Structure 1
Amino acid sequence: MEFTIVFQSILIITMMIIIGAILARTSPLNNETRAVFINMIVNIAMPCIILSSIFHVDMNEDMFKRIVLVFVLSIVINVVGIALGWTFAIIFQKDSDRTREIALLSGLGNTGFIGIPLCAALLGPEGALYAAIFDAGVDVTIWTVGVVMLQKNRKFALHTLKSMINIPTAAIVIGLLAAYFNIKPPEVFVGLSDRLAAMAAPLAMFYIGMMIMGLQRGNVRQAAPKMWVPITVKLILLPVATIFMVHFFNFDSVLIQTVLIQSMMPTITLASILFARYKADEQMGALTTVLSTLLGLVTIPFMVYVMSLFIN
């Protein structure tokens, strides 16, 4: 992978975030605009990225095996990140009552909003497909391990799985079934999915830019002592651990690069929403998401460079 391509992609992402921040000056992010952005990204753009990727990748038995492998690796990496966050929280923040939040923020990355568009730009349709499968593994981890950790009674209920039934997941299932049975959609539908898929990155970055403008300095200073652990684990330690994990296996090059890039993603955007639902620290989730995204603009190119030293 050319490092210049990575740098250019991150630079474009940065410029999109700046545009989002400028937009927030005239149209501040509120509950209504937030819902509109999330609906367009999650229910239109991301499913179209998934379908577009499937339409442009030749499906065969080996490809399906690699898809299953990416899904399993995603869950393993997510759990490793959560375990690292939990461990570091206990060691460095013994008196903190936010251990469960720190653990989840350390392991769950923004593999949908940022990861899928970035992998599509860097690695093409195959990378976008693997990224979507990785993101599905993140969803499974959220609604199983994440929910159990956030609940006071620490019990898993089957009704939590209903949250995994969403349009991006349906797009993965429908697209893979169509590919497996060699069902080719009309060209007009393929063209439509390609064009709608191109909306994902700009909309997601505009949204993040608008979130950044909503930060309050006082809240950041107050929460900073709690946030350094999840940000360090998510942006540095987990990618390094993932590099060592996959370095010993002879996997497909695009698969390895996709998994590694997804492991480098900043904290998941859903964190604040998830924490609010289970009466955890919603503010900490939102602040960690925004700050890790800003720092990720620096750490992602650096970690990609480190990755290239091991892969090449």
Structure 2
Amino acid sequence: MNLALTVLEIVAPVFLLAAFGFGWVRMGLEYRTQFVTRLATTLAVPCLIFTALMQTEIPGSDLVRFTAAVIGAVLVLSMTVELGIRALSLDRRTFLPPLVFGNTGNLGLPLCIFAFGETGLSYAIVFFSISALWSFSYGIHAVAGRGSLAKVAREPMVWSTLLGSLFLWQGWQTPRFLTNALELIGQMAVPLMLITLGVAIARMTTHDVSRAVVLSLVKLAVCFALGWTVATGFGLTGTAFGVLVVQMCTPVAVASYVLAERFEADADTVAGMVMVSTLISVASLPAVLALVL
């Protein structure tokens, strides 16, 4: 009973904020998604990443091991999806990004904050940063047929990750007044991302959901098994173990839909996977949390 209540306290704020964004749009109220997304990705999230890394108290060896585990999990998942797509003769441009990339930012970061506290946030940010880098390079290449190293270099999230890692490595701290300001800006990130997630889902349209259900369940099963196996193999325990498994099990990233629409893949199919996998996560993520807490 206590575990069920704990899990409910963790997931309820996350899905309530997403539901608020969904309801806002359904009521016909204006929401400038492009502006809010740009504000979050270029200002709020980078500030959150930088301050979380700069102030983390996780030992360097633990962060290195966790980073290696994340890289390993992401690479193995990518190879597994590549092989699966070829075996099933699915369109690589359409299906690879949604099957590889989870919603580790909009959904993963808030879940890890509520479930594992500030330490969990630091680990979750490492996972999110690696996933974002892989998405900007490998993900775009899969959909568009070309790399995007220039885009990676221009991303504020990349620079905030590198700068935060440098400050952590050297033990540096920004002046207290600046840290307070950066933390205040970073606090916008979580609610903005969750509300925008709900808005994005409310605005999507799709017609074929049967295949989306099957693929979403397959993605969840593969990611859970892979996350658990990799975390165990790298000797992760406690918060690090839980964060890796939870981040692996997050639903299809909304960014996959954006990529499909931008580069003229089957955006309708990807939208179905985003919506279906997010709905499935309402039940699956509490179950995953119950196993790792």
TM-score bucket of the superposed structures, by smaller chain: 0.7 to 0.9
Query: Which residue of 2 is the match for residue 118 of structure 1?
Result: 111
Taking the TM superposition and a 5 Å limit, the aligned residue runs for 1:1-312 are 4-24=5-25, 25-29=27-31, 33-58=32-57, 61-66=60-65, 68-80=67-79, 82-83=81-82, 86=85, 90-91=87-88, 98-151=91-144, 156-157=146-147, 160-165=148-153, 166-216=155-205, 219=206, 222-307=207-292
**Unaligned 5+ runs, structure 1:** none
User: Structure 1: how far apart are the matches of 2:81 and 2:129?
Assistant: 17
Judging changes above 3 Å, is the alpha-carbon distance between structure 1 residues 55 and 124 closer, same or farther for their aligned structure 2 residues?
A: farther
Superposition deviation, residue 67 in structure 1 = 5.1
Where does structure 1 differ by over 4 angstroms across 4 or more consecutive aligned residues?
A: none
Task: Kindly provide the CA deviation profile for residues 154-202 of structure 1, in whole angstroms up to 9, marking residues without a partner as x.
Answer: 5x54xx1122231111111111112222221111222223322222222
Deviation at 1:266, TM superposition (A): 0.7
The Cα offsets for residues 120-159 of structure 1, whole Å up to 9 and x where unpaired, read as 22222222122122122212332343234324xx5x54xx
TM-score (norm 2): 0.87
**Partner letter of residue 197 of structure 2?**
I
Shift of 1:264: 0.9
Q: Relative to 1, partners in 2 of residues 1:83 and 1:245: Cα closer, same or farther, differing over 3 Å?
A: farther
Distance of aligned partners of 1:291 and 1:84 in 2 relative to their CA distance in 1, 3 Å threshold? farther
Between 1:74-83 and 1:260-269, the stretch displaced more is 74-83
* CA shift digits 1:20-41 (9 cap, x unpaired): 1232114245xxx111121122
Q: Distance in 2 between matches of 1:239 and 1:84?
A: 18
CA distance in 1 between counterparts of 2:143 and 2:202 reads: 28
Q: In the aligned structure 1, how far is the partner of 2:161 from the partner of 2:6?
A: 27
- Percent identical: 17
Q: Tell me the distance in 2 between the aligned counterparts of 1:102 and 1:229.
A: 13
How far did 1:227 drift? 1.4
Deviations 1:83-133 (A, max 9, x none): 47526xx44xx5x5x344223211210111211222122222222122122
Q: Secondary structure at the match of 2:209?
A: helix
After the TM superposition, which of the residue ranges 168-177 and 233-242 deviates more from structure 2? 233-242
Once the two structures are superposed, residues 199-218 of structure 1 have per-residue CA deviations (whole angstroms, 9 ceiling, x without a partner) of 222212211222233244xx
Distance 2:4 2:76 in 1: 24
Which deviates further from its counterpart, 61-70 or 238-247? 61-70
Superposition CA RMSD, Å = 2.6
For residues 200 and 223 of structure 2, what CA distance do their matches in structure 1 show? 25
Alpha-carbon distance change, 278 to 261 in structure 1, aligned in 2, over 3 angstroms: same
CA contact under 8 A between 1:86 and 1:100: conserved in structure 2?
no
TM-score for the superposition, normalised by structure 1: 0.82
User: Structure 2 CA distance, aligned partners of 1:140 and 1:74?
Assistant: 14
- Measured after TM superposition, the shift of residue 3 of structure 1 is 5.3
CA pair 288-122 structure 1, distance change in 2 beyond 3 A? same
Whole-angstrom distance in 2 between the partners of 1:228 and 1:99: 18
Please give the alpha-carbon distance, in whole angstroms, between the structure 1 residues aligned to 2:34 and 2:80: 29
Measure, in 2, the Cα distance between the counterparts of 1:224 and 1:84.
23
Distance 1:137 1:55 in 2: 17
| C-alpha separation in 2, matches of 1:179 and 1:247 | 26
Distance 1:43 1:18, change over 3 A: same
Q: How many residues align?
A: 290
What stretches of structure 2 of length at least 5 have no aligned partner?
none
CA distance in 2, matches of 1:211, 1:147: 20
Quick check: 2:22–2:202 contact (8 Å CA) kept in 1?
A: yes
